[in-house]
Amino acid sequence: MTAPSRPAPGKPRTYAFPDSDRRTLANGLTIITAPLPRLPAVTVLAIADAGAETDPAGRAGLAAITARALAEGTRHRSGDALADAFERLGGELETDAGWTRAECGTTVLSARLEPTLRLLTEVLREPAFAEGDVTRLREERLAELLQIEAEPRELADDQFARIAFGQGNRYAEPVAGSTPTVSALTTADVAAHFERRYLPRNITLIMAGDIDGATTAGLAESMCGLWDPGSYVPLPGVGDAARATRAVHIVHRADAPQTEIRVGHSSVPRNDPDFHAITVMNAILGGLFNSRINLNLRERHAFTYGAFSSFDWRRQGSLFEVSTAVRSDVTAAALTEILGEIDRIIEAEVSDSELSLARDYLTGVFPIRFETTAAIASAIAIQESFGLDPAYYDEYRERIAAVSAADVRRVAERILDPSRLQILAVGDPEMIRGPINALDLGDVHEIVGKEQPTSTVAG
């Protein structure tokens, strides 16, 4: 009996990102409303241009602690009372900061929008920043950093950013800061950062759900219209990326049964005009399960359970990174395969089947990313934070589908630079040092824990 043939995929259904209403108050506060009348819920998300990129020199982690401290209480309510007030409205206050922005938001029934917005305004305008709360947040981060040092995967991520960007670049430090910088943070630092960055002209209030623009603008005007706009503080630079030549970095983890590998370098910012072609190129190289790197290391050689590549997008530069964990005895062989795949995508055009798979996947899953009010609000936050074109989401699938094999090779040649790849291996130096040195990939630096390189061996 002949097995039935697999049905061919149908044409992707059309998708339109929700329209939005944009208004700006006299003090500079921007209100963006995305009406979604399907469910009686609304996500309220305030984003401030107060992410980790705004941390002063030597104060990495200040933006993250400031954002988290917003949830610890206001001048009128303790942290417990604030959490209870949000719970009574059916929501939960969430605050945090990434590279580009700080966020403060919740999701509630749309009938409770007014009291929710009033409570969120209190958080944004009158935080308490009690000494005990800031101290506890600082100690929690320091404890988290100790855990990172004990976890090879986290340690690899932390060290790779330092290696790819170099000393003096803000991107070389974690978003939430390192032990020296976090230890130096004070409550006065937190209060000063808040006063400097949490200004109406730096804040966008996003509301997505069963609401309309006129209503949300009126509410925002009544609660925030008299908020002093303050003085504009420009976005500071993060510093020039270092590491212009290829090098290998071995981080000592004695007796480790496997090696955490990172390969990559600093790259272009998120608003690069080739973003869509870069996205398709990365999907083919290592962004999908059926990508070249994963099929090579996992399926062909059984070196690992998974190996992938990615771009960590930021406003002033990104981080291109291949990451995996392999058995110690195949570390050098895995590195050879990773470097070979990077060379291959630069040197020759990808096949039609690879290109079709990547484009179909990226366009097919796109609508799934926006199934909730919170997802829509987050997408608008990304659009605002990176200054993306207003039609970005409407044109995304069309622009991905238009990427050609020639485009993929062109951006691979432009974006990927084998001559300045940084190669990081966190593992047992006695097991991996010799085989790595034999590859002759460049200067080899050895690092003990989170210290700076202890020795250099000519490669």
Predicted confidence at residue 228, as pLDDT, reads 85
Predicted confidence at residue 167, as pLDDT, reads 83
152 to 209, 224, 378, 450, 453: CA distances (angstroms): 42, 46, 31, 11, 17
Contact 252, 375 (CB under 8 A): no
d(CA 254, CA 299): 28
Q: What value does the mean pLDDT take over residues 185-209?
A: 96
Contact 288, 300 (CB under 8 A): no
pLDDT per residue over 47-56, tens digit each?
999 999 999 9
Long-range CB contact pairs, 174-177, < 8 A, 24+:
174/60, 174/61, 175/51, 175/52, 175/61, 175/63, 175/64, 175/97, 175/98, 175/99, 176/52, 176/61, 176/64, 176/65, 176/141, 176/144, 177/55, 177/59, 177/60, 177/61, 177/62, 177/64, 177/65, 177/141
Containing 346, the helix (H) or strand (E) segment is: helix 331-347
d(CA 74, CA 404): 53
Q: Pick the closest to residue 45 from 67, 74, 15 (CA basis).
A: 67
Q: What value does the mean pLDDT take over residues 236-263?
A: 88
Q: In what order do the strands lie in the sheet with 41-48?
A: 21-24, 30-35, 203-209, 41-48, 102-109, 94-97
Containing 124, the helix (H) or strand (E) segment is: helix 113-125
Token output for 222: 């009544």
Predicted confidence at residue 230, as pLDDT, reads 79
Q: Which domains does the chain have, with CATH numbers?
A: 21-224 (3.30.830.10), 247-457 (3.30.830.10)
Q: What value does the mean pLDDT take over residues 166-183?
A: 93
Higher pLDDT, 5 or 177: 177
Q: Is 26 helix (H, G, I), strand (E, B) or coil?
A: coil
pLDDT surpasses 50 at 454: no
Who contacts 146 (Cβ-Cβ below 8 Å, separation ≥6)?
none
Pairing of strands 443-448, 247-252: parallel
Residues linked to residue 263 through DSSP beta bridges, in sequence order: 322, 423
pLDDT per residue over 108-135, tens digit each?
999 999 999 999 999 999 999 999 999 9
Q: What value does the mean pLDDT take over residues 182-195?
A: 97
Q: Pick the closest to residue 274 from 420, 421, 412, 417 (CA basis).
A: 412
Predicted confidence at residue 427, as pLDDT, reads 95
pLDDT per residue over 291-330, tens digit each?
999 999 999 999 999 999 999 999 999 999 999 999 999 9
The percent of residues in the chain predicted with pLDDT above 70, rounded, is 95
pLDDT per residue over 379-421, tens digit each?
999 999 999 999 999 999 999 999 999 999 999 999 999 999 9
Predicted confidence at residue 453, as pLDDT, reads 41
What is the average pLDDT score of the chain? Answer: 92
Q: Is 355 helix (H, G, I), strand (E, B) or coil?
A: helix
pLDDT per residue over 3-32, tens digit each?
677 677 667 678 889 999 999 999 999 999
Q: What value does the mean pLDDT take over residues 237-242?
A: 73
Predicted confidence at residue 109, as pLDDT, reads 97
Who contacts 428 (Cβ-Cβ below 8 Å, separation ≥6)?
252, 253, 254, 255, 256, 259, 328
Predicted confidence at residue 386, as pLDDT, reads 96
DSSP state of 54: G
Token output for 141: 């981060």
E-assigned strand segments in 25-123 = 30-35, 41-48, 94-97, 102-109
Q: Is 395 helix (H, G, I), strand (E, B) or coil?
A: helix
d(CA 426, CA 289): 24
pLDDT surpasses 90 at 223: no
pLDDT surpasses 90 at 215: no
pLDDT surpasses 80 at 458: no
User: How many residues can be counted in the chain?
Assistant: 459
d(CA 152, CA 251): 9
d(CA 358, CA 364): 10
pLDDT surpasses 60 at 452: no
The one-letter amino acid code at 193 reads H
Please report which confidence band the pLDDT of residue 242 belongs to, taking 50, 70 and 90 as the band edges: low
H helix count then E strand count, the chain:
16, 13
Return the exposure string of 431-449: e unless at least 16 CB atoms fall within 10 Å of the residue's CB, then b: bbbebbbebebbebbbbee
d(CA 290, CA 335): 19
Q: What value does the mean pLDDT take over residues 32-39?
A: 92
Contact 91, 106 (CB under 8 A): yes
pLDDT per residue over 329-371, tens digit each?
999 999 999 999 999 999 999 999 999 999 999 999 999 999 9
Predicted confidence at residue 28, as pLDDT, reads 92
Please report which confidence band the pLDDT of residue 241 belongs to, taking 50, 70 and 90 as the band edges: low
